[in-house]
Chain A
Amino acid sequence: MAKLDVELTVNGEKYNLKVGSQERLLDTIRKQLKLTGTKEGCSVGECGACTVILDDKAVNSCMVLTAQVDGSQIITVEGLESKGGLHPLQKAFIEKQAIQCGFCTPGMLMSALALIKENPQPSKEEIKTALEGNLCRCTGYQQIIEAVEAAAEEWGV
């Protein structure tokens, strides 16, 4: 079958792509767009390492066909940093030492961003719920939760 034409806006830039019909959004992001900040962990929606923001919602990019999201807006971890430097969430993760190996971090950042965009002043419980789909196996969740709290306090869109 011929490739499918899709138009995606990723981190504010518009892309017209040809994708295979079984191509996952994760594959498109990593292999076509070469945005390798988004990680592949479990591949079955259990770890959240591949989390991106799709039309304002956190999703597992390993469970979405790119063809399904033609016309959508996507934010990946690369979309956080700007000319002004690191994003407040990234700064808070560094300050609170919320990174050890870093593999879960891009997904954590995306889940946190989706939360703060919708709810600028989340409670601790709301932060925990927002991050419940992201597994971390080395840093420990406490610092990550504190980092999101700090970022929300400082920045809270």
Chain B
Amino acid sequence: MKKSPMKLESSQTISGVDFENYFQPGSLKEALEIKAEYGRDITIAAGTTDLFVAYYERLHTIKNWLDLSKIDELKYIKFSEKNVKIGAMTTHLALKESEELKGKFPVLQAAAADVGSPQIRSRGTIGGNIATSSPSGDLLTPLLSYQARFKLETAGKSRWAAAEEFFTGPKQNIMGPKEILTEIEVPLPKNDSSGYWIKIGRRKALVISTLNFSLVLEFNKEKISRAGLAMGSAAPTPVRLKKIEEMLVGKSLDELDHRKLGEEVKKQIAPIDDVRGTKEYREDVAFETMINALEDIESRRG
């Protein structure tokens, strides 16, 4: 039954049923031990901007909470010669404001600036965005384009997962019951690179993407030496479009047939009809977006 929007009072109040356990460890080590003990019976709270929507008026059904917000060792953006390492509890706001990220990963930064609203960006985290694994997660497409990998830790062990192997379905991923996502590592693109990001939605702010798109091209002289193309809300998971990437590599921008590439993008995605748009609409927008992206990059490179 649909709740009346004119409800007098939220049922999510202080008189509700309390959780059984609320853990707020100050270190990753403690957090991993708690996760090892509870497995799937504990819910991780990062920025909680997705969680509170998913559990609207039924927060009490979550029995055990693992709140990572006090773990300062998971909040950082560290650059080295080869890559950037980002702590999982780094907020969208911190990504948006990082000067170094602006120069080296403009597409990721533009995506972070387009998430929700200032209120959402100051709480929501990159780790939460990844672990929630929504097909429309705004940071996920740039992370696919830049070929990021994610560090998954358990008490005593860790493994790395490539972004494109991580997502398995809508809000599903390969994480095991005892694992916590702790770090995101993104290799630095070559100095000569250009990118394009766009989020399509019904309005500019506070919107879940009807479609999002990121393209990163690296150049050697004027030839494309590497391409990273990804789209969100275009398939059951955010997807990297490798076939198109292959069509771009080795060519110079003026050798590309934009319309043909746009048509190919349409073929490579598998969108659905939902409240934010139809399959047909998404395919048409994907086509246009691919053309716009190439034109935009071409005009900026002169």
Q: Is residue B18 contacting chain A, with contact meaning CB distance below 8 A?
A: yes
Would you give the 0/1 interface string for A17-34, flagging 1 where the beta carbon is closer than 8 Å to chain B? Answer: 001111110011001100
Contacts of B160 in A (CB 8 A): none
Closest residue of A by beta carbon distance from B69: A68
Contacts of B205 in A (CB 8 A): 129, 132-133
- Contact residue among B13, B17, B20, B122 (Cβ-Cβ distance under 8 Å from A31): B13
Would you give the 0/1 interface string for B50-83, flagging 1 where the beta carbon is closer than 8 Å to chain A? Answer: 0011001101100001010100000000000000
* CB atoms of A21 and B118 under 8 A apart: no
Q: Interface-forming stretch among A52-60, A73-81, A149-157?
A: A52-60
Contacts of B19 in A (CB 8 A): 1, 21-22
Taking chain B's interface residues, is the majority helix, strand, or loop, or is none over half, making it mixed?
loop
Q: Interface-forming stretch among A40-48, A84-92, A94-102?
A: A40-48
Count, chain A residues at interface, CB 8 A: 40
How close is A133's CB to chain B, nearest CB, in angstroms?
2
Contacts of A24 in B (CB 8 A): 12, 52
Closest residue of B by beta carbon distance from A22: B59
How close is A69's CB to chain B, nearest CB, in angstroms?
8
* CB atoms of A1 and B22 under 8 A apart: yes
Contacts of B20 in A (CB 8 A): 1
CA distance A47 to B193 in the complex (A): 38
* CB atoms of B119 and A43 under 8 A apart: no
Would you give the 0/1 interface string for B80-122, flagging 1 where the beta carbon is closer than 8 Å to chain A? Answer: 0000000000000100000000000000000000001111101
Given A20-B18, A40-B10, check contact A65 B118 (CB 8 Å).
Answer: no
Q: Which of B5-45 contact A (CB under 8 A)?
A: 10, 12-22, 24, 45
Closest residue of B by beta carbon distance from A52: B119
- Contact residue among A20, A40, A43 (Cβ-Cβ distance under 8 Å from B56): A43
Contacts of A68 in B (CB 8 A): 24, 45, 48, 67, 69
Contacts of A19 in B (CB 8 A): 14
CA distance A64 to B278 in the complex (A): 34
Q: Which of B191-238 contact A (CB under 8 A)?
A: 204-206
Would you give the 0/1 interface string for B108-149, flagging 1 where the beta carbon is closer than 8 Å to chain A? Answer: 000000001111101100000000000000000000000000
Contacts of B93 in A (CB 8 A): 57
- Contact residue among B15, B49, B59, B119 (Cβ-Cβ distance under 8 Å from A111): B119
How close is A11's CB to chain B, nearest CB, in angstroms?
19
How close is B39's CB to chain A, nearest CB, in angstroms?
20
CA distance A152 to B60 in the complex (A): 42
How close is B225's CB to chain A, nearest CB, in angstroms?
35
Q: Is residue A63 contacting chain B, with contact meaning CB distance below 8 A?
A: yes
* CB atoms of A22 and B119 under 8 A apart: no
Contacts of B67 in A (CB 8 A): 65, 67-68
CA distance A34 to B10 in the complex (A): 16
* CB atoms of A28 and B45 under 8 A apart: no
* CB atoms of A43 and B12 under 8 A apart: yes
How close is A43's CB to chain B, nearest CB, in angstroms?
6
CA distance A4 to B204 in the complex (A): 39
Contacts of B56 in A (CB 8 A): 43-44
How close is A118's CB to chain B, nearest CB, in angstroms?
10
Closest residue of B by beta carbon distance from A111: B118
Q: Is residue A38 contacting chain B, with contact meaning CB distance below 8 A?
A: no
- Contact residue among B12, B59, B117 (Cβ-Cβ distance under 8 Å from A48): B117
Contacts of A105 in B (CB 8 A): none
Closest residue of B by beta carbon distance from A132: B205
Contacts of A28 in B (CB 8 A): 14
* A interface, CB within 8 angstroms of B: 1, 3-4, 19-24, 27-28, 31-32, 40, 43-46, 48, 51, 54, 57-60, 62-65, 67-68, 70, 111, 114, 129-130, 132-135
Those 10 A-B pairs whose CB atoms lie nearest each other, nearest first = A133-B117, A132-B205, A57-B122, A21-B19, A21-B22, A63-B52, A133-B119, A60-B119, A21-B18, A44-B53
17 more A-B residue pairs beyond the given contacts A31-B14, A48-B117, with a C-beta to C-beta distance below 8 A: A1-B18, A1-B19, A4-B22, A20-B16, A21-B18, A21-B22, A24-B52, A44-B52, A45-B53, A45-B119, A54-B122, A58-B119, A59-B123, A67-B67, A68-B69, A133-B117, A133-B119
